[in-house]
Amino acid sequence: MIRDEETLTLLLDTIARFVRERLVPAEAEVARTDRIPEEIVAEMRRLGLFGLTIPEEYGGMGLTMEEEVRVYFEMGHTSPAFRSYFGTNCGIGSQAIVIDGTPEQKARYLPRLASGELIGSFALTEPGAGSDAASLRTTAVREGDCYVLNGTKRFITNAPEAGIFTVMARTDPAKKGADGISAFLVERDTPGLWVGPPDVKMGQRGAHTADVVFENCRVPAENLIGGREGQGFKTAMKVLDKGRIAIAATAVGVAERMLQDALRYACEREQFGKPIAEFQLVQTMLADSQAEIYAARCTVLDAARLRDAGENVNLQAACAKMFATEMCGRVADRAVQIHGGAGYMAEYGIERFYRDVRLFRIYEGTTQIQQLVIARNLIRSGKIYG
């Protein structure tokens, strides 16, 4: 749903200019230093990017899902590390509070998340619980007016920078699956919370992940999200349904950038006396990429519109994430191929995108998990979507 076409166009134009003039020129430096310059972060704050999806009453822009994906199409035209930095605040770092938080939790945290003063992280994955997130072992035991948390969370995006963590932990050890899990808001300076050193990753330098360890970490009971035990896994899945559409949109945007770069190179590079774009085998790679990007874009927009209409988009979000991220991997591969040897060289940047986009098929549910979600929906309802 688009609330006001004119306002959205203005926002998209501003973001496109920011991407073109500030972020694209900084890509190589961010990759080299593994750090987004402070002045760029300050500009992100000024543009309101940290609060894209946070309701206006808490200082955000309150974008609908359709508006949000259109922003991410634009943001995808540069290194995904930039979007990861503020996008975590708009997505998994804030949405548990937006969707299921109490009025007090919303008032306490959302304004600072929206302004970018506070960075939010989402801590579900553990060393022994990735795809099977419902088997998580971190415990939260009620003691007086606190819960005492113990456990380790792994690969947590923005953990090194975060001031607030949404943490899924088991409050009822008698229940082994999802029902025994609750979600908590844990502030960074809470005694007993430790953040490990940043992980060394394949790509997306400038975006950081780390372990988050809880050792007898006492969290005030009022920080139980929604104020009810046993709801945490449901909250996490609602957050991920939304997050998957956002990742899919980013994958579409990055695929567009890679195809644009490949198209330019194919038109400029000459072999056998003519631009390589004139060879039909190269044209096949360009055409397949364009058609797949178009299909993914339509899928993402459809899922976003359905979510805005209040539908349960569990199936559509999984379809969008699976198709768009797998498509993005294929486009990355073809873009490297079209660049030939230059595609393998750091100087041309395309190998960096090739590494960066590999993550899209892994986090917020691997492709295999999306396939299971899609199949489960089909079997449960006995009918297909279409």
Ligand X SMILES: Cc1cc2nc3c(=O)[nH]c(=O)nc-3n(C[C@H](O)[C@H](O)[C@H](O)COP(=O)(O)OP(=O)(O)OC[C@H]3O[C@@H](n4cnc5c(N)ncnc54)[C@H](O)[C@@H]3O)c2cc1C
Residues at the site binding ligand X, with contacts judged by CB under 6 A: 122-125, 130-131, 155-157, 201, 209, 359, 362-366, 368-369, 372
Q: Which is nearer to ligand X, 109 or 155 (CB)?
A: 155
Strands (E), 68-204: 120-123, 139-143, 146-157, 164-170, 181-187, 193-195
Amino acid at 330: R
The single-letter DSSP state of residue 162 is -
How far is 240 from 251, CA to CA, in rounded Å?
16
CB of 51 to ligand X, least distance (A): 19
Q: Which two tokens stand for residue 230?
A: 């046993």
187 in catalytic set: no
Q: Which is nearer to ligand X, 9 or 368 (CB)?
A: 368
CB of 170 to ligand X, least distance (A): 15
How far is 1 from 68, CA to CA, in rounded Å?
10
Selecting among 27, 66, 256, 364, the annotated active-site residue is 364
Q: Which is nearer to ligand X, 101 or 130 (CB)?
A: 130
CB of 16 to ligand X, least distance (A): 26
Contact 124, 168 (CB under 8 A): yes
Q: Which is nearer to ligand X, 16 or 372 (CB)?
A: 372
| Chain CA centroid to CA 290, Å | 23
Q: Which is nearer to ligand X, 154 or 339 (CB)?
A: 154
DSSP string, 329-376: HHHHHHHHHHHGGGGGSGGGSHHHHHHHGGGGGTSSS-HHHHHHHHHH
SS (H, E, C) 56-84: HHHCCCCCCHHHHHHHHHHHCCCCHHHHH
CB of 6 to ligand X, least distance (A): 35
CB of 376 to ligand X, least distance (A): 11
Residue nearest to ligand X (CB): 130
Contact 328, 356 (CB under 8 A): no
Active-site positions read 364
